[in-house]
Structure 1
Amino acid sequence: MVHITTSWRGVAVIVVVALVVVGAIAWWLSRPEPSSADLGTRTVQAGDVEVTMTALALDGSGAVFKIVLDTHTVELDLDLAASAELTVNGAVADGAVWEGQGPGGHHREGTLRFATPVPAGTTVDLRVIGLPQDVTGTWSAP
Structure 2
Amino acid sequence: MVHITTSWRGVAVLVAAALAILGVIAWSLSRPDENTPDLGTRTVQAGDVEVTMTALALNGSGAVFKIVLDTHTVELDLDLAASAQLTVNGAVADGAVWEGQGPGGHHREGTLRFATPVPAGATADLRVIGLPQDVTGTWSAP
Normalising by structure 1, we get a TM-score of 0.76
The 1:125/1:32 distance shift into structure 2, 3 A limit, reads: closer
Give the aligned residue type for 1:103.
P
Q: Residue 104 of structure 2: SS of its match in structure 1?
A: coil
The 1:107/1:35 distance shift into structure 2, 3 A limit, reads: farther
Give the aligned residue type for 2:53.
M
The 1:118/1:74 distance shift into structure 2, 3 A limit, reads: same
Counterpart for residue 82 of structure 1? 82
RMSD in angstroms over aligned alpha carbons? 2.1
The 1:71/1:38 distance shift into structure 2, 3 A limit, reads: same
Number of residues of Structure 1 aligned to a counterpart in Structure 2: 114
Q: What CA deviation, in whole Å up to 9, does each residue of 1:51-89 have, x standing for no partner?
A: 000000000000000000000000000000000000000
Q: What CA deviation, in whole Å up to 9, does each residue of 1:19-58 have, x standing for no partner?
A: xxxxxxxxx9xx9843988000000000000000000000
Quote the sequence identity (%).
91
After TM superposition, what 4+ stretches of structure 1 lie above 4 angstroms from structure 2?
none
Is 1:112–2:120 an aligned residue pair? no
1:1-142 aligned within 5 A? 33-34=33-34, 38-142=38-142
- Which ranges in structure 2 are unaligned for 5 or more consecutive residues? 1-27
The 1:47/1:37 distance shift into structure 2, 3 A limit, reads: farther
Tell whether the 8 Å contact from 1:36 to 1:55 is kept in structure 2 after alignment.
no
Normalising by structure 2, we get a TM-score of 0.76
- Quote the Cα distance in structure 1 between the aligned partners of 2:35 and 2:41: 11
Q: Residue 113 of structure 1: SS of its match in structure 2?
A: strand
| Rg comparison, structure with higher value | 1
- Quote the Cα distance in structure 2 between the aligned partners of 1:38 and 1:129: 26
Tell whether the 8 Å contact from 1:36 to 1:56 is kept in structure 2 after alignment.
no
